[in-house]
Amino acid sequence: MKLRILLKMTVLTIILGACTISYGSPYRKFDSKIPALILAQPKRVELSVTYELAIPEQVISNLPKEATVYKFVSKQISEQDFRSLSSKFGMKGQPKSDNDRPDHKGDSLLLLNEGTKRLLLNTQTGTWKYRDDSKIFQSTGANNIPSDAEVSRIATEYLKTNGWLPPDFQFQTVTAVTEELSNLSQTPKVIGKSAYFYRYIAGQPVYGVSRIIVDVGNQGEVVGVSKFYKEIEDAGKQPLKTVDQAFKEAKQKKGTVTTDNPKLKNALIKDVKIKYWEDSGSIDDQPFLQPVYAFKAEGKVNEKTEEFEVIIPAIENARIELKKVGQ
């Protein structure tokens, strides 16, 4: 059997406790060096899109000339904190160090495997992931997966009950995990669903890895939880490059896009917003949450309109590194 995740809306795939955010705080100029913003690209797809800018001048003139940069807060979580978290999932064992992972160099990881349950926590960033492998996305004759609306309700109440839903996070979408049946004429069987919650800043969702995911299985049981965001604090303001500068970088492929359709050759950019991007790297490598330009584009493939976004770093003189992901 083969598992397939069906997304109900576009989710950026490049891929708790309370957040410290100071909206409306006294004006402070940012005085630290900004490292290159790391944006991910699919490995297999090489896109060649020609863009045309068609954003109304009023939209451009209303954009801010500077934006707040946020600093990620280093947590330094103790083993006692880890045990307090693991007890929420009925786990009582002693965690072990798991620092040899190539994708987490420089970080300190604690891992607890207890029966079919698994909890991995990054003691520096405060990010963690829990799942029960005996129950998550399992195909059984008794599968009774709730509706999307019910999954949203279950996940929201679960996070609130445990104090894991900060006020700057909002429910975003539900995705379905399906099992492809041997008889391809049959409708794939839904064997689990995941509710996604995104952090919002100035009314816009934060892109990249900044999310909470709650996995819901048979009979609406919560069988997995992931806290993939880092806590932040206001670090002052930085000037932004102009829209024209950002558009030139888009034409030069100095950003990433939320489409992997190789047949897409021409696109019209019709809108732009200032959003933020959280990379999955360590705080040492990526210490700041940076603003980005999110260009809304649309193009046609086989007479069908495809909408997507082009993401460009927004800070003036900011460097960018493109990281290939996927196989």
pLDDT in tens, 202-246: 999 999 899 999 999 999 999 999 999 999 999 999 999 999 999
Band (176; pLDDT cuts 50, 70, 90): very high
Residue 27 pLDDT greater than 50, yes or no = no
Task: Please state, as a whole number, how many other Cβ atoms lie within 10 Å of the Cβ of residue 91.
Answer: 19
pLDDT in tens, 279-317: 877 888 889 999 999 999 999 988 899 999 999 999 876
Q: Are 105 and 124 in contact (CB under 8 A)?
A: no
Q: For the chain, what is the mean pLDDT? A: 84
Residue 24 pLDDT greater than 50, yes or no = no
Residue 8 pLDDT greater than 60, yes or no = no
Average pLDDT over residues 112-129: 95
Rounded percentage of the chain residues whose pLDDT exceeds 70: 80
The span from the CA of 199 to the CA of 213, in Å, is 12
Least confident residue range of 7-21, 136-150, 311-325: 7-21
Distances 198 to 2, 157, 173 between C-alpha atoms, Å: 28, 16, 9
CA angle (317 as vertex; 127, 293 as ends), nearest 5: 60
Question: What is the pTM assigned to this prediction?
Answer: 0.83
pLDDT in tens, 245-267: 999 999 988 888 888 888 889 99
Which carries the bigger pLDDT value, residue 87 or residue 327?
Answer: 87
Average pLDDT over residues 34-59: 79
Tokens of 165: 């839903």
